Amino acid sequence: MLPNALNVLKFGSGEKPMQVANAFPRPQNPSCPAGGADNRENAERGVQVAPPSGNTSSLEPYQVLHTGFDTLTIAVKAILPPDVAEYFETQRTIAEHESREILIEWNGVELHLQGHGGKGYRFVANSGAFGARWAFKKPNAKDPWGVTVTFGSVFMATRDLGGAQAHLDRVLDRLGMRVKPEDFSISRFDICSDFYAPNFTLIPENFVMHSSTNRQDFIEKSVNGKSGRVTSVRVGGVKSRSAIIYDKRLEVTQKLKPYWWHIWNTNLTQKGLPNLAPKDPRSKVWRVELRAGKLLLKDRWNIRTWEDLYARFGDLVAHSMSSIRYTDPAPTDINRARWPNHLLWELAGSEFANDLRYMREFSDPDGVKFVHKAQHISTLTKNARGTLVSLAAINGTSFDQLDTFFDTTLREFKNDLESEAEHLCKLHQAASDRYRFIS
C-alpha cells in the first residue's frame, strides 16, 4: 500500500505547482487575470483578515472556513468470504424481519446492517454519520468487483484522505478480503471550500462554461409562495464533472447538521478569529464544491487507483476550475469568455490549488461527534417533554397538577421495569445499537 496520502498527495504529477516570484497560480481567465501575485509563503491560508474581535461582523467577507476533500466513493475488487457472507445473510434476515437496521460485529468491525440490499448489492451497511457506507455483493466468482464504499463529508473533514485509506484497508483485512493496489477503482471524489460571505448573492447567469454543459438551479421559496433567492446552482453532469455553489448554512440548518458549526469555529479559533454564531442571521456560509465523477476520473484523466489519484487529481482540479467559472460580469464586454472570475471563485481556486497534502484541518472527531450527540439529546428531550405534557392534557390534567402527574407517570414507568422487563430490555438494546457510533 502507498504511504499516507498526507505525505504524497501533490499538485499534478506528484509535484508542487509552478511558482513565479513565490506566487501560487490561480485558475482564472488567462485573457483577463485578476489579483496577480500573492506571496503566501508565510501566510495563513485564505484571505487576510482584520484583527479578531468578539462578534461575527468583525470577520472579513470571504474568510475561508473550511477547505478539504468531500465525498469519496471507491469500488473494490474483492468478494466476501463464505463465512462472512453467511453471517451477513443471517443478520440481514433478522433486520428485515424487525424492519430496522441492526448492529452487527465481525472480527472487530461494527456496522449497521440494513434489512435490504440495493442496486445489485445484497448487503448494505454503514458505520454511522461519522463513518463510511458499505455495499457488498453476493459472492460470485464471475463478478469480482464485489464491494463499494463511500466516505462522506464529515469523515473526510475530520480524518482526511489518509484516514479513509487506512480505514478501508483495516475493514477489508478484518473481513478477510485480501487486495492489491490495482484492486481499487475510484469512482467519485469531491473537493470543497466554505466561505463566510454575508453579502454574497448567487446569480446563475454568471456561470461561464461550454455551451453543451448543463446547469441546474435551486430557488428558495418563501412562505407566501413567491420566488425567493437562488440557493444553489449546479453546472455539469453527475457522472462526469460538476461544479456547485450553494448556501451551506441553509443546508446545515434544514438537515440538522450542527457539527459543521463546530468544524468552522474550530478552524476560526486556530486562526485567532471570532467564531460564527449559528443563530446570527449574518453568519452566512457559502460552499464552492467540485465533483469528479467516474467518467471524468477514468475516461478523461485515467484516474483509477490511489496512485493515479495522488499523481493527477491536482491537474484535474486546476483544469476543471478554468473550464467552469463563476464570474463577475463586465457590463461593457459582451464576450462572456473575457469576464473575470468572481472573488469567491478566485479564492476557491486558490485554496484548491494549494499543496493538496495540507488539506487537513485536524478537527477533533470526538468534538464533532459530541455536537452531533448533543443535538440528538436535545431533540429527544424536547420530544419526551412534549409527549408528557400532551399525555397530561389528554388526561384532563391542569397545568397546576403537572408536577404530580409527572411523579405519577414516572412511578408507572418504574413499575414497567418489572412487569415489562423483557420488552424494555429489547427497546433499550435497540436504542443503544442505533446510537452506537455517536455514544
Has residue 223 been placed in a domain? yes
Q: What is the pLDDT of residues 127-180, one digit of tens each?
A: 987 889 999 999 999 999 999 999 998 899 888 888 999 999 999 999 999 999
- Please state at what angle helix 343-353 crosses helix 306-323, rounded to 10 degrees: 160
For residue 19, being part of any structural domain is answered with yes
Domain boundary among 154, 178, 202: 178
User: Is 183 among the domain residues?
Assistant: no
Q: Indicate the residue among 363, 385, 400 that finishes a domain.
A: 363
Residues 159 and 273 in one domain: no
Tell me: do 135 and 244 sit in the same domain.
no
| Domain co-membership, 244 together with 194 | yes
Asked whether residue 350 is assigned to any structural domain, the reply reads yes
Q: What is the pTM for the complete model shown?
A: 0.70
pLDDT above 60: residue 370: no
Per-residue model confidence (pLDDT) at position 224: 38
Residue 24 — pLDDT band, cuts 50, 70, 90?
Answer: very low
Please indicate, yes or no, whether residues 423 and 337 belong to a single structural domain of this protein.
no
**Burial class for 295, CB neighbours closer than 10 Å (0-12, 13-18, 19+):** middle
Question: Is 287 within a domain?
Answer: yes
When divided into structural domains, the chain yields a total of: 3
Domain encompassing residue 149 = 78-178
Convert the pLDDT of each residue in 92-104 to its tens digit.
Answer: 999 999 999 999 9
Name which residue leads in pLDDT, 34 or 80: 80
Q: In terms of domains, do 297 and 238 share one?
A: yes
Classify residue 135: in a domain, yes or no: yes
Task: Indicate whether 103 and 157 sit together in one domain.
Answer: yes
165 and 201 in a single domain? The answer is no
Cell of 133: 457506507
**57 and 198 assigned to the same domain:** yes
Q: Give the whole-number percent of the chain exceeding pLDDT 90.
A: 49
Q: How far apart are CA 102 and CA 433, in angstroms?
A: 7
The pLDDT mean for the chain works out to 80
pLDDT band for position 57 (cuts 50, 70, 90): low
Based on the fold, state whether residues 58 and 99 are members of the same structural domain: no
Please check whether residue 439 lies inside any domain of the structure. no
Q: What is the pLDDT of residues 273-303, one digit of tens each?
A: 999 999 998 999 999 999 999 999 998 888 9
Neighbours of 81 (CB within 10 A): 14
- pLDDT of the residue at 35: 36
- CB within 8 Å of 360: residues ≥ 6 apart: 6, 68, 160
What pLDDT shows up at residue 215? Answer: 67
296 falls within a domain? yes
Write the pLDDT tens digit of every residue in 391-427: 888 888 888 888 888 888 888 777 877 787 777 777 7
From 363, 378, 399, the end of a domain falls on: 363
Predicted local confidence at residue 44, as pLDDT: 38
Assess whether 92 and 57 both reside in one domain: no
pLDDT band at 239 (very low <50, low <70, confident <90, very high): confident
pLDDT of residue 362: 42
Instruction: Tell whether the model's pLDDT for residue 357 goes beyond 90.
Output: no
pLDDT at 407: 82
Confidence of residue 31 (pLDDT cuts 50, 70, 90): very low
One domain, residues 263 and 402: no
46 pLDDT exceeds 50? no
Residue 251 shares a structural domain with residue 110: no
Query: Given a cut of 80, is residue 199 above it in pLDDT?
Result: yes
